Structure formats: C-alpha cells, structure tokens
Amino acid sequence: MSSQLTRRDWLRASGLLTAGLTTGLRFSKAATSTIANQSVFVDEFSALRDAKLVSPPDTMPKLRARLFANENPLGIAPSAKEALVKAADSGNRYAWMEFAQLKQLIATDEGIKPANIMMSPGSSDILMAAASHFAKGGGTILTSAMTYDDLLERAQRQGAKIVAVPMTKDYKYDLNAIKAKITPEVKLVYLVNPNNPTGTVVPAADLEAFCREVAPKVPVFLDEAYIDFYEPAERPKLGKLVADGQNVILARTFSKIHGFAGLRLGYAIAQPEMLKTLKPYTNGEFAVSITTLMAGIASYQDKEWQNHCRAENAKARDYTTKALTAMGYEVIPSAANFILFPIRMKTKAFENQMFANGIGIQTRDFNGQPYCRVSVGTMDEMAMFMDGFKKVVG
Ligand SMILES: Cc1ncc(COP(=O)(O)O)c(C=O)c1O
C-alpha cells in the first residue's frame, strides 16, 4: 500500500467498500509501506475494523464471537445505562455543567486541574489532532515497532517521518534505544501503555523517569487506552507529570473498560497551552453529546462495574492464555483485553478459516512471523474461540 493512500482509498482500491468482503481481510505484506519496513504495522487493525463496518452483513458469516476490536463484551455499566435514559430529557440542551463535572472528577483523581483536560469523542480524535499538528512541516515521530498505528499513519500521510525502534525480545518497549534516537528532528515521541497489539507494559517508574528525561526536549504522547486494565494499586499515575509542568500528553478512552466504543468518549491530559495547540485540529469538545457525557460521569464513578469488568477480563484472558500455552503456543503475557501470539499458519488462511467458523480475530505479520491478536471476550466466547482455533489449526 502506498503511504499516500488513505485507509478508505485502500479499501476502495481493494474493492472492499463496494463489494464487501466474504471472510477476514488480508493485509500483511501487501499492505505494508515505509513505516512497516521499520516493522510498525500500517493501519491493518483499523482497516480491518472499517471493513467489518462497511461489509454488508450477508457477505460475512454471522460472528459468534466478535473478538477483533478490543471492545468490552459485558457492555456498559447498568448505572451508565440509567444515566443515558435520564440524559434523553436533556437532549435539547448544550452540555456545560456536565463537562465541568466530569473534568473535576478526573482532575481530583489525577491531582491536576480541570484546565489540564480536553474531552473528545473517543481518544482517536486526540491522536489524530496530535498527528496533524506534529506532522506539520515535516519532522520525525519517534516510536516503537509493533505498536498502535493510527496516529503514526495519519502523521506519515501528512508528511512526517516515522522512526520505529525495535522491541526487546520479550515484546517490550526498549526505552533506552528509543531515547538514543532522539534528534533535533524528532517532534514527538509516541508510546502506548499497555501496548496494543502486544499487551505488554512498561514499569510505571521507568515510564516516569523516561518522561522526566525526554519531555523537556521533546513532547511525549502516552496513549493510555488500556490503562484501566491495570489493577488499581498498580496503575501508573502519570497525571503527576502534567501537574509538575512536564510536556506530556496522556490520551485516555472510555471505549475499553467502560464499554463506550460506540458511545464515544475520551480525553487528553496535558498542559493548557498544549491543549490549546491541539484544539483547532479537533471538532471541539461539543462533539461529545450530553447523553454520552452523563453516562460517562456515571460510569467513571462506578468502580464496582469497572472492577467487575477487570476481573472478568482477567479470568477469560488467563483461561485463553493457559489453553493456548497447553497447545504449545507462546502467548505474550498481556495486561490488557487482548492477546497476541505467533501462529503456525499463514495469516490469510488462518483468519479466513476463523471467520468461517464465526470467530472474528485479527492477524498480522511481524518480521515475517504471522501472529493472531484475539480480543478477550466473555468466558463463553473464549471457549468458542478455543474450539474454533483447534478446528482451524487441526
Ligand atoms: C492504543 C489505542 N489507542 C487509541 C484507540 C482509540 O480508541 P477510541 O477512539 O475508541 O477512544 C484505540 C482503539 O482501539 C487503541 O487501541
């Protein structure tokens, strides 16, 4: 895929937007570009997600287990549902107090000021805004190989150069190697913790030390989409970096543990000047509806539901990890709601056969090795996944 092609261009060129697709998508080598040569994947997961969305339902076998988008299989909190229904009565009003209320809740938890927070409809908007801003006029975005590519792909399309540093052998960020690549051309460092698609984490102290050393020279963007899957006692508390005046941007989403992937809610934590810089690239906070905000306020405070989702996720993740390990697969230990592991079939054949069995997953080649990334669903879905997997790999 040419790096000049957008995701939609590519899907259109592939006939996917017009013809739909029959089973899973194949991207791997055919879809790689210059950043993939540095072993960052190019838009594969998101292209797959889009293709599923545009695919007419009758062209795809009905999925029994939808395990390709790292969604919360348990849905939104009952308290959030109740808030949504109540919010319907406020649908004629612009949200004011609700922004202030949610920001205050977050600010209190993080030890920051409400002025350090910008709300958005999902964190993708924050990622895209940062991509557009830091790509302006060229320059380099420094990251790791095998990480989430939405920001990188957008930045590359807008003229940025992407430098992706190889991971360690155990699929972790090599922070020292990343630091060594900082040059005056680097405009942004982009890290994801826990990382997608590997599910691996950087120890909080290492990440903090990295930011304190690097951020005075170049802004650090920490994508914390999966942070809520940490046990609360172990969760990195990097809001304090922002409170200390560091040039760090934290991106958070309600799409994962809160189950708001469809409702759309996220936010950035950063210095007020940085938020002001990024804002013109967004549609503004009013892109978030009052219904989503009110549900978000309820969900944010519903620690019981979050604990429940985290515990169920850990249970189903452990079950799947053990089942795959027992079959001789080397599963990368995951701290998130998905698992990545090397497979012994070609990605296309594997993915197509899994979809034919009603199991939606994603696949990827990294350095010529095929991998499966499976989202953690309910226990029933993971049992279905294992059944399908056994059938497919024989
Ligand atoms: C690492 C990472 N960052 C950001 C996002 C964006 O999520 P959303 O726009 O739904 O908040 C995702 C979505 O899967 C992700 O995996």
Express each pLDDT in 98-123 by its tens digit.
999 999 999 999 999 999 999 999 99
Can you give the pLDDT at residue 394?
86
- Ligand 1 centre to CA of 326 (Å) is 31
Q: What ranges do the domains of the chain cover?
A: 7-74+307-393, 78-301
Residue 206 has pLDDT above 90, yes or no: yes
- Ligand 1 centre to CA of 196 (Å) is 9
Q: Ligand 1 within 6 A of 143 CB?
A: no
Q: Ligand 1 within 6 A of 292 CB?
A: no
Domains 7-74+307-393 and 78-301 equal at CATH topology level: no
The architecture that CATH gives domain 78-301 is 3-Layer(aba) Sandwich (3.40)
Can you give the pLDDT at residue 47?
52
Which residue, judged by its Cα, is nearest atom 15 of ligand 1? 225
Can you give the pLDDT at residue 63?
87
Residue 164 has pLDDT above 70, yes or no: yes
- Give the residue among 114, 389, 141, 80 at the shortest CA–CA distance from 265: 80
Q: Ligand 1 within 6 A of 337 CB?
A: no
| Percent with pLDDT over 90 in the chain | 84
Q: How far apart are CA 390 and CA 384, in angstroms?
A: 10
- Ligand 1 centre to CA of 224 (Å) is 9
Can you give the pLDDT at residue 365?
94
For the segment 143-169, the average pLDDT, to the nearest whole number, is: 97
The one-letter amino acid at 328: G
Residue 244 has pLDDT above 50, yes or no: yes
Phi, psi of 87 (to 5 degrees): -65, -20
Report the chain's mean pLDDT, rounded to a whole number: 88
Q: How far apart are CA 378 and CA 357, in angstroms?
A: 17
Any idea which of 17-21, 113-117, 138-142, 302-306 has the lowest mean pLDDT? 17-21
The architecture that CATH gives domain 7-74+307-393 is Alpha-Beta Complex (3.90)
Q: Ligand 1 within 6 A of 192 CB?
A: yes
Q: Ligand 1 within 6 A of 120 CB?
A: no
Q: Distance of CA 370 to CAs 77, 323, 341, 364, Å?
A: 36, 19, 9, 6
Residue 6 pLDDT level (bands cut at 50, 70, 90) = very low
Any idea which of 19-23, 299-303, 360-364 has the lowest mean pLDDT? 19-23
